[in-house]
Amino acid sequence: MIQPPLPSFAGFGLGMRTEHYDAYLSGSAPVDFVEIISENFMGDGGRPLHLLDQVRRNYPVAMHGVSMSIGSADGLKADYLGRLKRLADRIDPLWVSDHLCWTGIHGFNSHDLLPLPYTREALDIASANVALAQDLLDRPLLIENPSSYIHFVDDAMSEWEFLSELTRRTGCYLLLDINNIYVSATNHGHDPLAYLAGIPLDRVRQIHLAGHSAGQHGLLIDTHDHPVPDPVWALYAEAMTRLGEVAVMIERDDDIPPLEALLGELAMARRLANQSESLAA
């Protein structure tokens, strides 16, 4: 079942990390929304949910998951989707998102975002899983493009072609991770502007910005432990000349700095968005 259209939301936000809880609980953080890791709040009661209820009174909340396993050949887990739905019904989020990946099979969770082959068979599986999740959650999903370190010899299409067809089949939306586009383009030698040109930009509702690290053999690794670097800022500025209203968020998951440092990056994101809007006018 195709879900009703998901309204746009234009704002600038941060991930809700424990180091900055006090600012979100008091409502003093000058952000337009916060994003949570869904799995951290999917228990039945307890302190995490109590804190989230308080934060929700101050800010709109986006739910971002890491364990739905959209690409799993053995299907989605009913228990997981049930707990996710209870959380979404409780806090009425802006949206629910997860990654284009698989995370486990036969009850085993790798706790990693594992890559999919971009084949017709994988597209059929991912489309069926997205459609099922949207029906059970009774809301459209946002699917995030992953960072990529390998490719499969059986790939029949590019990542952006895969995502485009996934949105067409299921009516889902996209969470466009600009850092992941840059990381994958560097690792595989393709043009990040070709990615932007090939993606259905009208389906984008949120952007992630983050930093990365240099790994072995010249690979870039999506570590979320550095500030947003200049090449990612440049790609973001280009993307914003092409996009309509979207939510923009800075991701930081390790070596987390004081809130003021992240707010500085968020101010940069606002400035570049405003400049890009002027150029596009």
* Mean predicted lDDT score pLDDT of the chain: 93
Q: Is the pLDDT of residue 185 over 70?
A: yes
Residue 43 pLDDT level (bands cut at 50, 70, 90): confident
Flag whether pLDDT at 52 surpasses 90. yes
When pLDDT is cut at 50, 70 and 90, the band that residue 180 belongs to is: very high
pLDDT band at 1 (very low <50, low <70, confident <90, very high): low
- Summarised one tens digit per residue, pLDDT across range 74-88 is 999 999 999 999 999
For 59, 154, 255, 267, the CA distances from 30, given in Å and listed in that order, are 10, 47, 22, 10
pLDDT at 60 over 90: yes
- Residue 14's pLDDT is what? 98
Residue type at 280?
Answer: A
- 3-state DSSP assignment of residue 248: strand
pLDDT tens track for 109-164: 767 788 899 999 999 999 999 999 999 999 999 999 999 888 899 999 999 999 99
Question: What's the pLDDT band for 215 if we cut at 50, 70, 90?
Answer: confident
Find out whether 212 and 251 touch, Cβ atoms under 8 Å: no
Structure tokens, 68: 């739905």
Band of residue 281 on the pLDDT scale cut at 50, 70, 90:
low
End-to-end CA distance of the chain: 37
Q: Which residue did the predictor score with more confidence, 267 or 213?
A: 267
Pairing of strands 108-114, 102-105: antiparallel
The domain 11-204 is placed in CATH, from the list 3.40.50.10490, 3.30.565.10, 3.20.20.150, 1.10.1380.10, at 3.20.20.150
CA of 237: how far to CAs of 48, 178, 276, in Å?
36, 10, 6
H-only helix segments in the chain: 21-26, 47-58, 78-91, 120-137, 159-170, 178-188, 192-198, 230-240, 259-280
Coil, strand, or helix at residue 119?
coil
Query: Is the confidence at residue 265, as pLDDT, over 80?
Result: yes
Domain regions of the chain by residue span: 11-204
Instruction: Note whether 185 and 143 are within 8 A (CB).
Output: no
